[in-house]
Structure 1
């Protein structure tokens, strides 16, 4: 039985001077979920995870208030924030699932504290840079162009959910805050030295990539698989940068199958 949104508990957790918003649901081994630039949304993947795990889905600092970012001047401080958050939550070891920017942070967390992360799932993570496949500067991408970058089918029903209504000032403000909280850590390019640390990751890792990802090309999967000690790569056909939304059943099966098996 999956957890519905009605079963999700929202907590505000103090991590030093920063208040972290955490959505918690389910029972079983703990899973930490780190979201991408689209923000923290309770989606079908989290519901599926909560059927057999205790999910802790965290909103990145700064997504609602820029005050938190004054305490986190760079990526290193953000990684330490998440390490401390796990201490506050009483989670000595966890399985971590991260998407896009959240995947980058998840990889850094696992590299910083290898014994803390038992298994790692990275969904279209950023963190590297290739001149032959540059990651577009999302700060300069018009909202109307986002579906074409993020989705395999930019004319499908998901497209409308990616762009806040032009006549909704609050939605536009919230979207700009979420974007600013990500850009704070990755501007001007997302390569912040992960290639120097990724060899420290000890956790078996599942990489999931949309085969039609036009934001972060699937060629970046090579950068991860070449450097990770133990990894499995799955290319999801018919999906772009949001495979967990475009192909939810396929992604669910791969993630649950990976987390619930003893061997990679």
Structure 2
């Protein structure tokens, strides 16, 4: 049995009310052990082998970002300011009873994780940022996923968009209704997170990263065409106790495209 063929813990769903009851977050939970808060990227939350493997060692809490579900798109309009969204997610962490969880964030979720760690330095026990957004250099432009066409999207996300891993990750369900729901969910997810990233994903995070106190691992695919891998050193230069893990033959989703390589580096760090 291979790593990805192990019996995968099935997540249950919880809800948590935040922002004085005006916003309800749906949270997928699985596993046992110390808490781990996972913040998903712009394309939405998918419970994949990476999260299942983390759930073998941790209790994984994975909230859906407001509006990223096709069934609850209006939630995207409850909070418009990124700083307020950071406060809402810190409130959610407390409501869930998480004490110094490991915080793992990817893409937009990496930006949100970094903001949480900067605003609330005592919140994360450790911090893992996977291809995080949030910084900008004119000589290293970051692509905008929400503006990409369906044909452009695979090449922005994967080093080898025609490979089996990418094709499986991008495939919609065979059931027509489920396929429509999945497509709508991705559109809403890109739009809901995109309003905090457009026109550039720079909301002043660079000036706040010195506040991050948790040990931090920055994971990046060497061939990332959405956010160049040079940003890994940008983040590392701004976070005191940090290390960089560059993943070979990988694009913007190293935990998917190079599952074993990325997981090994992350597990070594978390030990």
Q: TM-score, normalised by structure 2?
A: 0.90
**Structure 1 residue 82 and structure 2 residue 102: aligned?**
no
Structure 2 gaps, min length 5: none
Structure 1 gaps, min length 5: none
- For 1:68 and 1:9, the matched residues in 2 are separated by 21
1:164–1:175 Cα contact (<8 Å) kept: no
1:149–1:215 Cα contact (<8 Å) kept: yes
SS of equivalent to 2:129: strand
1:3–1:50 Cα contact (<8 Å) kept: no
SS of equivalent to 1:238: coil
What residue number does 2:187 align with?
Answer: 176
SS of equivalent to 1:132: coil
**2:109 pairs with one of 82, 87, 102:** 102
What residue number does 2:26 align with?
Answer: 21
- For 2:236 and 2:218, the matched residues in 1 are separated by 8
**2:266 pairs with one of 251, 255, 261:** 255
The 5-angstrom pairing of residues 80-229 of structure 1 reads 80-160=87-167, 161-162=169-170, 168-229=179-240
**Structure 1 residue 72 and structure 2 residue 49: aligned?**
no
User: Once the 2 structures are TM-superposed, how far is the Cα of residue 147 of structure 1 from its aligned partner?
Assistant: 1.4
1:3–1:51 Cα contact (<8 Å) kept: no
2:14–2:29 Cα contact (<8 Å) kept: yes
1:143–1:163 Cα contact (<8 Å) kept: no
- For 1:3 and 1:35, the matched residues in 2 are separated by 22
- For 2:42 and 2:78, the matched residues in 1 are separated by 20
Counterparts in 2 of 1:39 and 1:145: CA distance versus 1, 3 Å:
same
User: Once the 2 structures are TM-superposed, how far is the Cα of residue 199 of structure 1 from its aligned partner?
Assistant: 0.4
SS of equivalent to 2:111: helix
- For 2:26 and 2:9, the matched residues in 1 are separated by 16
> After alignment, is 247-256 or 212-221 more displaced?
247-256
1:146–1:162 Cα contact (<8 Å) kept: no
What residue number does 1:231 align with?
Answer: 242
Counterparts in 2 of 1:140 and 1:70: CA distance versus 1, 3 Å:
closer
- For 1:251 and 1:138, the matched residues in 2 are separated by 23
2:9–2:31 Cα contact (<8 Å) kept: no
SS of equivalent to 1:33: strand
Counterparts in 2 of 1:41 and 1:171: CA distance versus 1, 3 Å:
closer
The root-mean-square deviation of aligned C-alpha atoms, in Å, is 1.8
Runs of 4+ in structure 1 deviating by more than 6 angstroms, as ranges, are: none
User: Once the 2 structures are TM-superposed, how far is the Cα of residue 11 of structure 1 from its aligned partner?
Assistant: 1.1
Please give the per-residue CA displacement for 1:83-131, whole angstroms capped at 9, x wherever unaligned: 0001110113211000010000000000000011110000000000111
The 5-angstrom pairing of residues 41-52 of structure 1 reads 41-52=46-57
- For 2:76 and 2:188, the matched residues in 1 are separated by 11
Q: TM-score, normalised by structure 1?
A: 0.92
